[in-house]
Amino acid sequence: MSRKQKVLICGASIAGPCLAYWLTRYGFDVTVIERAPSLRMGGQNIDIKGVGRKIIRMMGVEDQIEKANTTEQGLQYVDERNIVIAEFPKGSTTSFTSEIEILRGDLSNIFYTLTKTEAKYRFGTYVTKLAQTDKEVIVTFNGDGQEQFDLVIAADGIGSCTRTIIFGNEPRLKYLGYYTSYLTIPRVMTDTQWARWYTAPSARVVILRPDNKGSTRASVTFSAPNHGVQPTSETEKRQVLKNVLKGGGWECDRIAAVLDDVDDIYIGPLSQVKASRWASGRCGMVGDAAYCPSPLTGMGTTLAIVGAYVLAGELFRQKEYGAAFRSYETLMRPYVEKVQKLPPGVPRIAYPKTKMGVWVLNNVVKIFASRPVQKLISLLSGQPKLDTDNDDGFVLPEYLRNVD
Ligand SMILES: Cc1cc2nc3c(=O)[nH]c(=O)nc-3n(C[C@H](O)[C@H](O)[C@H](O)COP(=O)(O)OP(=O)(O)OC[C@H]3O[C@@H](n4cnc5c(N)ncnc54)[C@H](O)[C@@H]3O)c2cc1C
């Protein structure tokens, strides 16, 4: 009897645990390493759309995910006095709030809990060196321990260090000119079950969203030409946000005032990962590490779930890893390229620099949200279109019927 193929997955957020789920179902011996000392629970709501929805159903966690819904009712676009300029209720043609809205940490925890018995998880661990031979990959970890694997998969997000170890600087990060941050703040009386979107001059956008834990999730996006900010320590992250929020109006001072007590600040560039190949020898990539589309598309999590499903399925179906990596890429790349395509003017159009620019944008959004325009869009797009019915033109391969 042949031995189980040993696979090392680097990163335990969304793509990593999803890949672990499918690979263990197909009989692989899976180890997942995560650089952080424990599962990272931070982040705002994320969406699962189209074929991603079908996959979570196959994984048997759709009900659990639905129950963890943040119950957000939709998006209100507000001005600096908190007056609602435009409203996009959940289920409307151009809604920002999708059918499934779950906190990123909750989703990660569901996938981790689902896989932690079948796969081996090691926290506080990352790869420092990889050496490939014809037969194996010799992996050196932080702390200098070594182990042999048949395959190594980078699932360590947009800033993937494992990707750099495998491919050097070959994959290109298309920087979109902005940084975005996510953090959890105490809930106050002005917070409702609606997401509130506020645009401040000097290219700043603040969004406050309800969660299902009694707190509020904030995101602050700001212009940073030439990668102007790369804070590493918690103190630096707080200082960057304090500077950005200064003089912003609306609830910017409220966020700045609690920053010293916030312990889950995530700050990262708005970028897309463009890689000419997703595998080299016995090493490959999945999720944001391979093809981050940026949060502007709302599709990063769906791509990670779909990519993990297809990569595992092809490794199972093809048996030979080279052929599997090739068909994974052939199947996924057209879908990824479609998702990564941003409409003209995005993201610049959403971040005006002047007060006049904010005024113009607010009025455009107001017209866009008006009943006649929404009705027209609805007629043209054949709405209502539930996330479940939309497969984004991607035909999901079937692998499960070949599982013993
Ligand atoms: C803390 C956090 C908060 C986020 N919040 C949001 C949000 O609010 N909205 C949004 O749209 N997107 C958010 N994202 C990004 C979102 O999760 C991804 O775009 C998407 O779900 C694809 O997930 P991924 O698993 O490919 O990558 P990621 O979710 O980025 O996960 C990568 C994982 O790899 C780990 N890691 C990093 N380096 C190494 C290493 N060298 N070795 C091992 N592990 C490593 C990270 O700690 C992380 O757990 C967040 C990501 C993180 C990590």
pLDDT of residue 352: 94
Mean pLDDT on 292-306 = 95
CA of 16 to the centre of ligand 1 (A): 10
Mean pLDDT on 300-304 = 96
pLDDT of residue 176: 93
Mean pLDDT of the chain: 92
Task: Pick 26 or 263 by higher pLDDT.
Answer: 26
Residue with CA closest to ligand 1 atom 1: 42
Say how far apart CA 19 and CA 306 lie, in whole Å: 9
Residue with CA closest to ligand 1 atom 37: 156
Q: In degrees rounded to 5, what are phi and psi of residue 199?
A: -105, 125
Mean pLDDT on 253-273 = 94
317 pLDDT band, cuts 50/70/90, is: very high
Please list every protein residue whose CB sits less than 6 Å from any atom of ligand 1: 10-16, 33-36, 40, 42-44, 46, 104, 126, 155-158, 161-162, 182, 266, 287-289, 295, 300-301, 304
CA of 156 to the centre of ligand 1 (A): 7
Mutation probe of ligand 1 site: the residue of 33, 156, 271 with most atoms within 8 A of C-beta: 156
Say how far apart CA 303 and CA 386 lie, in whole Å: 18
- Which has the minimum average pLDDT: 65-69, 194-198, 375-379? 375-379
Q: Which atom of ligand 1 is nearest to the CA of 14?
A: 25
CA of 273 to the centre of ligand 1 (A): 14
Q: What is the pLDDT of residues 269-286, one digit of tens each?
A: 899 999 999 999 999 999
Q: Which helix (H) or strand (E) holds 279?
A: strand 279-280
Q: Which atom of ligand 1 is nearest to the CA of 10?
A: 43
Exposed/middle/buried for residue 403 (C-beta within 10 Å: 0-12, 13-18, 19+):
exposed
Pairing of strands 204-210, 84-89: unpaired
CA of 42 to the centre of ligand 1 (A): 9
Mutation probe of ligand 1 site: the residue of 8, 13, 14 with most atoms within 8 A of C-beta: 13
Q: Which atom of ligand 1 is nearest to the CA of 36?
A: 47
Is the Cα dihedral 304, 310, 311, 316 positive or negative? positive
Whether the model pTM is above 0.75: yes
403 pLDDT band, cuts 50/70/90, is: low
Q: What is the pLDDT of residues 78-114, one digit of tens each?
A: 999 999 999 999 988 777 888 888 999 999 999 999 9
CA of 242 to the centre of ligand 1 (A): 24
Share above pLDDT 70 across residues of the chain, in percent, rounded to a whole number:
95
Q: What is the pLDDT of residues 44-76, one digit of tens each?
A: 889 898 899 999 999 999 999 999 999 899 999
pLDDT of residue 391: 64
pLDDT at residue 178 tops 50: yes
Name, in order, each residue with C-beta under 8 angstroms of 134's C-beta and a sequence gap of 6 or more: none
pLDDT of residue 204: 96
Pairing of strands 29-34, 204-210: unpaired
pLDDT of residue 380: 67
pLDDT at residue 385 tops 60: no
Q: What is the pLDDT of residues 333-376, one digit of tens each?
A: 999 999 999 988 889 899 999 999 999 999 999 988 888 777 77
402 pLDDT band, cuts 50/70/90, is: low
pLDDT of residue 118: 98
404 pLDDT band, cuts 50/70/90, is: low
Mutation probe of ligand 1 site: the residue of 98, 104, 152 with most atoms within 8 A of C-beta: 104
> Phi-psi category of 5—alpha, beta or left, where left has phi over 0 and alpha has psi -120 to 50?
beta
Q: Which atom of ligand 1 is nearest to the CA of 41?
A: 1
pLDDT at residue 329 tops 80: yes
Q: Which atom of ligand 1 is nearest to the CA of 126?
A: 42
Residue with CA closest to ligand 1 atom 42: 126
The DSSP call for residue 85 is: E
Residue with CA closest to ligand 1 atom 19: 300
Q: Which atom of ligand 1 is nearest to the CA of 156?
A: 34
DSSP for 333-355, please give it. Answer: HHHHHHHHPPPTTTTGGGS-SSH
